[in-house]
Each structure stands twice: as structure tokens, then as C-alpha cells.
């Protein structure tokens, strides 16, 4: 990840102190936390908290602010991890195609028995079947897939 950030023009990573780490934990738990509340909780001035958050954003440590979604309540009650074996040296091509898949929420190039790990959320098993058998397996660089159905999941983000 650090190499990707540097390639996109972000500065090299700077060490984070305990206050920066605490700010990250607070914002991970509540991305809408006010500067004032963050400052109070880490015992610094509002100006200092504001400057630190801006630096974390500019340095690429904070990549954005978003909502944590309950996929089941949002109508995507079927989740699965899909492993893919791909043609050697085609990661960049495959990655671009996976980014366009409906319901894809996370992907990683990994080492081991397979090459790519993809997390998807779909409305139901029929949509998952369509995604795997029609969309994924039609990508020429994909040699094979294995689908692992998720029975229950839980985010491990820190609570404030």
C-alpha cells in the first residue's frame, strides 16, 4: 500500500505518535466526530486536532470518510468470499474488471493456493450465482474460482 501511495504522489509515510493513533481510532469509530470532540478526547487544542487530521488526510493515512453499511439491512443479505486463480502477470487487468463488478466491496492480491480474494455482497443466492458463473468466469484471465459463503460477519473496527 505504501508503494501505491508514493506512486500516486503521496509523501512517504511519517511515523504516527500516540495522539495521531488515538485520532485514527476515534474517526474509525465515528467518521462524523467533530473537531471539537476529537480535540477534547485526545487532550489537544481544536487547532492542533484540525492540523493533525489535515496532515493525516494529506499524507494519505486517512483515505476518506464513509459509512459502515449493514449489507443485510441494505438489501444485500448474501455475502461471499471468492478466491480466484488468474493468469500470471494479469493482476492489473483483472483488478480493473473486478472494480466494476456490482456488489464487490474488497479485493486483495494474495500469496498461497489462489491469487485473488474478493468479497462480494449480493441480494440473494441467485444474484451470487449469476455474478460467479456469468461475470467472473467470463473474464479471460480468470482460470478458476472457489466461492465461500459467509454465514455471519462482524466488523472489527474499534468502538469509540
Does residue 155 have a pLDDT over 60? yes
Distance set, CA 35 to CA 61, 86, 97 (Å): 17, 45, 38
| pLDDT tens digits, one per residue of 29-87 | 888 999 999 999 999 999 999 999 999 999 999 999 888 888 888 889 999 999 999 99
Supply the mean pLDDT for the chain.
Answer: 90
Domains and CATH numbers, the chain: 2-58 (1.10.10.10), 78-150 (3.30.70.920)
Q: What is the DSSP letter of 45?
A: -
Does residue 6 have a pLDDT over 60? no
Contact in structure between 60 and 5 (CB atoms under 8 Å): yes
Amino acid at each position: 500500500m505504501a508503494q501505491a501511495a508514493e506512486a500516486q504522489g503521496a509523501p512517504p509515510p511519517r511515523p504516527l505518535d500516540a495522539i495521531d493513533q488515538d485520532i485514527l481510532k476515534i474517526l474509525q469509530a465515528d467518521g462524523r466526530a467533530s473537531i471539537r470532540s476529537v480535540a477534547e478526547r485526545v487532550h489537544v487544542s481544536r487547532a492542533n486536532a484540525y492540523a493533525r487530521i489535515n496532515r493525516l488526510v494529506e499524507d494519505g493515512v486517512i483515505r476518506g470518510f464513509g459509512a459502515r453499511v449493514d449489507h443485510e439491512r441494505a438489501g444485500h443479505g448474501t455475502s461471499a468470499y471468492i478466491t480466484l486463480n488468474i493468469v500470471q502477470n494479469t493482476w492489473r487487468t483483472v483488478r480493473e474488471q473486478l472494480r466494476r463488478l456490482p456488489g464487490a466491496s474488497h479485493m486483495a492480491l494474495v500469496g498461497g493456493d489462489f491469487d485473488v480474494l474478493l468479497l462480494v455482497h449480493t441480494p440473494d443466492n441467485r444474484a451470487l450465482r449469476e455474478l460467479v458463473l456469468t461475470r467472473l468466469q467470463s473474464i479471460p484471465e480468470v482460470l478458476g474460482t472457489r466461492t465461500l459463503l459467509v454465514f455471519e460477519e462482524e466488523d472489527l473496527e474499534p468502538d469509540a
